[in-house]
Each structure stands twice: as structure tokens, then as C-alpha cells.
Amino acid sequence: MPAFDYRNGFYHVEDLDLRELAEQFGTPAFIYSESAIREAYHHFELAFADQPHLICYAVKANSNLSILQLLASMGSGFDIVSGGELTRVLKAGGNPKKIVFSGVGKTQEEISQALSIGIHCFNIESEEELTKIEKVASALGIVAPISLRVNPDVDPKTHPYISTGLKQSKFGIPTETALRLYQQADQSAALNIIGMNCHIGSQITELAPFTDALIKLLELVDALTQKGIFMEHIDIGGGMAVQYQNEDSVAIADLAEAITELMSGRPQKILLEPGRSLVANAGILLTQVIYVKENSGQNFAIIDAAMNDFIRPALYKAWHNVLPIIQFAEERPEREYEIVGPICESGDFLAKQRRLKIRSGDLLSIQSAGAYGFTMSSNYNSRGRSAEVLVKGTHAKEIRRRESIEDQMRLESNPSFDSGY
């Protein structure tokens, strides 16, 4: 049975009516299904069962401690991009030996923190970063496990904001530079080469970019092997698409089959960094219609969620399905609506041109909101960030309470400057 579906005309998450969750926790609220997350994770594990592998969940997709704890309990590793994410993973019980540290701007403090707790490896993105990690590791008397993020110059055919594997990208190291840096790192007593990494983008809907990138990495692996430099793992990153509308998506089983074939006879373990594909369809944004209005023939449904809660539609023009919590049987006029929030921006929309039968007070579900939802939210217009709720069967747990204005102001002060300052 799907984690989210209608029962007797009322939309449910697992065994709970979403009307009851709206009454208990208020709106807007992110609602997550534990069973959907478990199912998605096990889908990956099953698909790659014949290939030595480690799943490293991309924490940036959804960093709630309860979500991280759930994944850690299933044996997941973690892909992090900041010291804050590292702290979250450790707090949630993540195994440091299963953490890979990505990102182009690791600070000295973050590097020291990661070295001290013994992460699996750093995915290094530049020559200067390699030098800094070597210096920090040497000063601490620790050997740093490293992997270079190689930029394979492969077009993932996705939104330009989330395309990260082209040569013009800020991410990664060109192949020819990587060959030199691997040889340089091999001479350092403070560095231990254990792998190679790439991440070409997000929401990738075709198989070819993944295989093209891996082929290029394997060519570099072979060139390094000839020079006596060996890899323990190859990290192919994440980026597996989910279906928001009617777009294509790569079946995880097909991806696993293609990768397993390319890795046949090779000793390296495969690392994967899925984020969106594990949690996007395990969550919704539950919201209520405040007002319905019509301006010069254009209908608007003004809801209590906004771009500060869920910025993907405004930032990427991302399409998310919108469903009524109650499938009304009585006659209501169906109209085309712009689903918009209360923020003072014309770009504050959650969905456009949706045909719905709605009135003020109705509850709506913004679908596929489990990834890059709360983690990208803000306090714009001094709006408190939404509550987060995790559902397991007939039980619901508030895993992050709604922010109050007092929460927002707690870190601020009203200083009195000396005259003449």
C-alpha cells in the first residue's frame, strides 16, 4: 500500500488521516512517512546486493535528526558538506567510518573536526584544499584519508543550477589535473589515497550520464594503477531522479545493473550518495487555503505555506503535484488556480495553473516535498519555519516544532553604542 493515498475520500499518510495531523500540529507542516524512507533505502540495498557498496545519504536533502537516526539504524553512511551536517550525523548516531565529506569550501575548523573523529574520507575539490588538508593532518599527527572529486565533463541534462559535472562548474577537479594531484598526494606521509569521486548533478533522468561518468573515472583509475596508485572505492555520487510529474527516471535496478557490469572484475567498492531519491517522495507539505480571490480572470488560492517554507518552485520552477486532502463529492466549480503564499514577492508561488475544486479553509498537500524542503527554508518576512512530523503506522511524532517569533529573535540583540561610535 502506498505511504500516501486516499481512503474513503480522505488523504492519509500511512494509517493517519491528514486532517487529524493538521488539527494536532497545525499548518504548514512537513509530514514524512517512515515506511516510505525504509522502502526507498532497502530498494537501493537490494539493487546493489551483487556489488560491494556503501550508501552515503546526502544529508543536505533532509537533515532532520530523526530522519538521520532512522537511516543510521539501517546501516546508512552519510555524505556531508559542512561541519554542521557532521555534527548532526554524529548526534543521530551515524558511524564516522561511513562519512564522506564533500563540498568546495571546507574550512580549517571543519577539516580538523572531521579528522579528529575519523571520517571515511574527504572528497577533495581543489589543489588548495588538498594542500590545506595535508597541513592540518600533519599538524594533528593524523593521516587524512582522501578521494579527489574528478570533474568528468559530462552533461547530466538537468536544471543548470543543479548541474555539477561540466567543466565550467565550480565543483571538482579536471581529469588531467587530478592525475597530477594524485601523484603528488601519493608522496605525502600525511595523506592516504583511498578513492575517487564524482557527482555530476541532481534530478538526472537518464542512465547514460552515470555510465559515461563512471567510464571516464575508470580510465583515470587504470592510468593511476599503472603508476602504482590504487583505489579502494569509486564514489559515483548521487543525482538519481524522482518523478515529480511525468518526467522519466532511472530505475535503480537498471543503474545497479549497468554499474555492476562496468565494475566486473574490479576490486573497488562502489559508493553512492542518494538524497532526493531516498526522501523526496516520503514527504509532503501540508497547508491550508487562507483566501481564494480572482483578479481580472486569474484565480488565486492563497495558502499559509510560502516560498520561505518551500522554495523549489520559485527557485527552480519545479513542478509539484497539489492534492486536496478531501475529495469533495458535492458539486463545486472546478477552476484553474495559481497556488501562492502570503510573502510579498510575485515569485511566491507553490504551483501554477492547477485545476482544483477548493475554497477557503481547505487543506492541501504539496507532494514530493521530503527533499530540499525544510532544509532550504528561511525566515523571510519574519515567518517561522514549519513544523516537521514523522509518521509510523498510526503514530505521529513532531520531530521539529514550529518556530516562534521568539525563536527567531533569540540570537539577536539591541546594543547601545557609545556616543560618537
pLDDT recorded at residue 71 = 98
| Cell numbers representing residue 384 in the block | 517561522
> 377: which residues sit within 8 A by CB, 6+ positions away?
308, 309, 310, 311, 385, 386
**Residues shown for the chain:** 421
Considering the four listed CATH numbers 2.60.120.650, 2.40.37.10, 3.40.50.920, 3.40.50.1820, the one that applies to the domain covering 4-31+280-409 is: 2.40.37.10
Q: Which of 42-56, 147-161, 380-394 has the lowest mean pLDDT?
A: 147-161
Is the pLDDT assigned to residue 171 strictly greater than 80?
A: no
Is the pLDDT assigned to residue 165 strictly greater than 50?
A: no
Percent pLDDT > 90 in the chain is 78
Is the pLDDT assigned to residue 170 strictly greater than 90?
A: no
**Distance separating alpha carbons of residues 287 and 28, to the nearest angstrom:** 5
Per the DSSP assignment, residues forming a β-bridge with 145 are 192
pLDDT recorded at residue 155 = 54
* Contact (Cβ atoms closer than 8 angstroms) between residue 189 and residue 229: no
* Contact (Cβ atoms closer than 8 angstroms) between residue 272 and residue 236: yes
| Cell numbers representing residue 353 in the block | 495553473
* Contact (Cβ atoms closer than 8 angstroms) between residue 365 and residue 322: yes
Phi–psi pair at 136, nearest 5 degrees: -65, -45
Reduced to 3 states (helix: H, G, I; strand: E, B; else coil), residue 116 is helix
Radius of gyration of the chain (CA): 23
**Distance separating alpha carbons of residues 169 and 368, to the nearest angstrom:** 28
**Distance separating alpha carbons of residues 146 and 129, to the nearest angstrom:** 11
DSSP-assigned letter for residue 181: H
- The active-site residue out of 56, 121, 198, 344 is 344
Is the pLDDT assigned to residue 162 strictly greater than 60?
A: no
pLDDT recorded at residue 1 = 76
User: Crossing angle, helix 65-73 and helix 34-47, to 10 degrees?
Assistant: 40
Q: Which of 81-95, 236-250, 388-402 has the lowest mean pLDDT?
A: 236-250
To the query of whether residue 344 is one of the catalytic residues in this protein, the response is yes
State yes or no: cis peptide before 28, omega within 30 of 0. yes
Q: Which helix (H) or strand (E) holds 66?
A: helix 65-73
Intrachain domains 4-31+280-409 and 34-276 with the same fold: no
Closest CA to 217 of 233, 228, 193: 233
Q: Which of 3-12, 325-334, 344-353, 397-406 has the lowest mean pLDDT?
A: 325-334
Q: Which of 61-70, 331-340, 366-375 has the lowest mean pLDDT?
A: 331-340
Phi–psi pair at 5, nearest 5 degrees: -165, 170
| Cell numbers representing residue 334 in the block | 472546478
pTM for the predicted model, two decimal places: 0.93
User: Per-residue confidence at 241, pLDDT binned at 50, 70, 90?
Assistant: confident
Residue 105 burial class via C-beta count within 10 angstroms: exposed 0-12, middle 13-18, buried 19 and up: exposed
- What's the rounded mean pLDDT across residues 384-395? 98
Whole-number Cα distances in Å, 116 to 129, 135, 144: 17, 14, 10
User: What are the tens digits of pLDDT across the range 338-370?
Assistant: 999 999 999 999 999 999 999 999 999 999 999
- What's the rounded mean pLDDT across residues 51-80? 97
Q: Which of 150-164, 225-239, 283-297, 358-372 has the lowest mean pLDDT?
A: 150-164
3-class DSSP string for 206-249: CCHHHHHHHHHHHHHHHHHHHCCCCCCEEECCCCECCCCCCCCC
Q: Which of 84-88, 273-277, 339-343 has the lowest mean pLDDT?
A: 273-277
- What's the rounded mean pLDDT across residues 293-311? 96
Q: Which helix (H) or strand (E) holds 180?
A: helix 175-186
Percent pLDDT > 70 in the chain is 94
Closest CA to 15 of 1, 30, 29, 28: 1
Estimate to the nearest angstrom the gap between the alpha carbon of 269 and the chain centroid.
23
- What's the rounded mean pLDDT across residues 154-167? 49
pLDDT recorded at residue 382 = 97
User: Per-residue confidence at 419, pLDDT binned at 50, 70, 90?
Assistant: low
- What's the rounded mean pLDDT across residues 242-248? 76
- What's the rounded mean pLDDT across residues 405-410? 96
Neighbouring CB atoms inside 10 A of 198's CB total 28
**Distance separating alpha carbons of residues 102 and 53, to the nearest angstrom:** 18
Domain ranges of the chain: 4-31+280-409, 34-276
pLDDT recorded at residue 262 = 93
Is the pLDDT assigned to residue 268 strictly greater than 70?
A: yes
Mean pLDDT (the chain, rounded): 92
pLDDT recorded at residue 159 = 43
C-alpha torsion angle, residues 195, 198, 199, 200 (rounded to 10):
-170
- What's the rounded mean pLDDT across residues 386-401? 98
Closest CA to 67 of 403, 400, 407, 404: 400
Estimate to the nearest angstrom the gap between the alpha carbon of 363 and the chain centroid.
26
Is the pLDDT assigned to residue 201 strictly greater than 70?
A: no
Higher per-residue pLDDT: 417 or 213:
213
Considering the four listed CATH numbers 3.20.20.10, 3.30.470.20, 3.90.1150.10, 1.10.1740.110, the one that applies to the domain covering 34-276 is: 3.20.20.10
DSSP-assigned letter for residue 370: S
Neighbouring CB atoms inside 10 A of 284's CB total 28
